[in-house]
């Protein structure tokens, strides 16, 4: 008697394995985009908002670097 090349039902199990790997891959991609967006938001806060808040609360002028990055002097407003 010859041995069968494929066990019945293995195609279905391979499909389930493929779908599970694809779902895990999309989860990792979404997680990486979330990390990237949080990092960009943090960098924006440090480079633009912090100098602008210093100007508002302490009354000193925004430096040239802060002005080039978009910070405005709020003590005049």
Q: Is residue 74 part of a domain?
A: no
H helix or E strand, kind and range, residue 64: helix 64-69
Residue 39 domain flag: yes
Per the structure, the count of domains in the chain is 1
Please report whether residue 1 resides in a domain. no
pTM: 0.53
pLDDT digits (tens, 9 = 90+) for 18-70: 899 999 999 999 999 999 999 999 998 888 887 777 766 666 665 666 667 77
- Quote the tokens at residue 37: 């967006």
The pair phi, psi for residue 2, each rounded to 5°, is -85, 145
Residue 4 lies in a domain: no
Q: Quick one: which H or E segment has residue 1?
A: none
- 3-state SS of the chain: helix, strand, coil percent to 5? 70, 0, 30
Instruction: Evaluate whether residue 2 is within a structural domain.
Output: no
């Amino acid at each position: 008697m010859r041995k069968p090349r494929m066990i019945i039902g293995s195609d279905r199990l391979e499909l389930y394995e493929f779908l599970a790997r694809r779902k895990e891959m999309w989860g990792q991609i979404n997680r990486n985009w979330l990390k990237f967006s949080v990092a960009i938001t943090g960098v924006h806060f440090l480079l633009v908002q912090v100098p602008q808040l210093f100007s508002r609360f302490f009354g000193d002028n925004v430096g040239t670097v802060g002005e080039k990055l978009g910070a405005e002097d709020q003590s005049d407003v």
